[in-house]
Amino acid sequence: MDSDLFEADHLAYADSVRRFVARDVVPHLDSWEENREIDRSVWTAAGRQGLLGLAVPEQYGGSGVTDYRFRVALINELARVGASSLQSGFSTNDDIVLNYLLRLADEEQSQRWLPGFTTGETIGAIAMTEPGTGSDLQGITTTAARVDGGWRLSGSKTFITSGILADLVIVVARTDADAGSKGFTLFVVEEGMAGFRRGRKLRKVGLQAQDTAELFFDDVVVPDANVLGEVGGAFGHLMDSLPLERLGIALAGQFSAEAALRWTVDYVRERRAFGKAIGDFQNTSFTLADHVSRTEACRAYLDRAVERYNAGTLTPEDAAKTKLIATENQWAVLDACVQLHGGYGYMLEYPVARAFTDARIQRIYGGTNEIMRLIIGRHELSRAS
């Protein structure tokens, strides 16, 4: 869909991404789905192409590019081919894990961890959710207790994106049972630490190629050098990171909807029933008209949100709105597009079917859409009339 968001540099970058996707992504989509895991080689290929860790400063091997429109171009190109699982992994690395490190890592930590995010050699994960705790993070039971030179981390996490492949995991743990919201701290657990183990690779409704896992921390001794940010500051750090995470989810939803509409327009032009193309029926035309119009309006709102993020003015409420409207629209669009494909829309050989199953999680992770409504509603009701 048309957008004035991009300038010449972004369009040139998008062309580069498109070539990478055609060469290194599309040929492997089916095998990744079957194996329920993405080959690490595509991460290093993306690193060689200069597609990862753009915001990493030059002294750590990056380009120091903080213009989020380049990330938008990457998300868009992956959505065009239905590579939702890879997009989820890349976004977890760049929009979540790397975002924490860029804001909170000290000099020594930056030297250790940041270079791998530009080369694709380091895959990260964020471990918040627990078997008994979802959106209510104050219910976290994973604990970290002081020991000489560090902390002893104990507990488990679940639904962890990139949990199998991750080289480092940012873990949220309770460090002071009596300090309320100030009793939580972020720890970086690295591959090879004694007591850190991975559980099942979880079977999901969608995003089959995206490895999602249970993680266990059996008295893992984490050195003080792996505390990220302030002791007791985890909740504040989490809140600072959520706007970008939710904007990224919103953009993934937006571009998935746009791709599905393109696939569906092509399909209904060719598929015939009762002697004419499906696209010639009034119901098809009206359905497309409704969803194209709403999706274009949603794109305009998201473009403005990206501009606000670049300017440093995207608020948590703005980000909640983007996630809510984009993922709700995504679901409505994909449901309609599957219907217009008829029986073929239920076949995984058609990208619209895979996109449909991949989309269901969008209204759950990053904070459920019910939580988004609470955030938005409370903000509106708290404003002076």
pLDDT score for 136: 67
pLDDT score for 4: 87
DSSP character at residue 296: H
- Per cent of the chain over pLDDT 90 is 90
Crossing angle of the two packed helices 282-311 and 316-341, in degrees rounded to 10: 160
pLDDT score for 3: 77
Q: What is the mean pLDDT of residues 239-258?
A: 95
Q: Which CATH superfamily is domain 126-232 in?
A: Butyryl-CoA Dehydrogenase, subunit A, domain 2 (2.40.110.10)
pLDDT score for 281: 93
Q: What CA–CA distances, in Å, run from 191 to 18, 147, 188, 217?
A: 32, 21, 10, 12
Residue 1 has pLDDT above 60, yes or no: no
Q: Name which of 213-217, 271-275, 356-360 the model is least confident about.
A: 271-275
Structure confidence at residue 225 as a pLDDT band (50, 70, 90):
very high
pLDDT score for 132: 77
pLDDT score for 137: 72
Residue 133 has pLDDT above 90, yes or no: no
Residue 120 has pLDDT above 60, yes or no: yes
Q: What is the mean pLDDT of residues 231-238?
A: 93
**DSSP-derived secondary structure for 309-368:** HHHT---HHHHHHHHHHHHHHHHHHHHHHHHHHGGGGGSTTSHHHHHHHHHGGGGTTTS-
Q: What is the mean pLDDT of residues 31-35?
A: 93
What CA–CA distance (Å, rounded) separates 341 from 263?
Answer: 10
CATH 2.40.110.10 domain span(s) along the chain: 126-232
Q: How many other C-beta atoms can be found within 10 angstroms of the C-beta atom of residue 127?
A: 26
Residue 274's Cβ-count burial label (10 Å; 0-12, 13-18, 19+) is: exposed
Residue pLDDT, tens place only, 348-385 = 999 999 999 999 999 999 999 999 999 999 999 998 65
Residue 86's Cβ-count burial label (10 Å; 0-12, 13-18, 19+) is: buried
Q: What is the mean pLDDT of residues 124-149?
A: 87
What CA–CA distance (Å, rounded) separates 242 from 230?
Answer: 18
Residues 6+ apart with CB under 8 A from 305: 247, 250, 314, 318, 319, 321, 322
- Does this model's pTM top 0.85? My answer is yes
pLDDT score for 153: 98
What CA–CA distance (Å, rounded) separates 161 from 249?
Answer: 13
Which residues are known catalytic residues?
245
Q: What is the mean pLDDT of residues 28-41?
A: 94
pLDDT score for 45: 97
Specify whether the CB–CB gap between 317 and 375 falls below 8 A.
yes
What CA–CA distance (Å, rounded) separates 209 from 380?
Answer: 39
pLDDT score for 181: 87
Residue 237 has pLDDT above 60, yes or no: yes
**Secondary structure (3-state) at 177:** coil
Specify whether the CB–CB gap between 188 and 170 falls below 8 A.
yes
Structure confidence at residue 2 as a pLDDT band (50, 70, 90):
low
Q: Which CATH superfamily is domain 235-382 in?
A: Butyryl-CoA Dehydrogenase, subunit A, domain 3 (1.20.140.10)
Specify whether the CB–CB gap between 295 and 254 falls below 8 A.
yes
Residues 6+ apart with CB under 8 A from 190: 167, 168, 169, 196, 226
pLDDT score for 385: 59
* Domain 8-122 grouped into CATH 3.30.9.10: no
175 membership: H or E segment, kind and range? none
Residue pLDDT, tens place only, 181-211 = 899 999 999 999 999 999 999 999 999 999 9
Closest CA to 198 of 161, 226, 229, 228: 161
Residue 12 token pair: 């040139």
pLDDT score for 138: 75
Specify whether the CB–CB gap between 154 and 143 falls below 8 A.
yes
Distance of CA 321 to the CA centre of its chain: 16
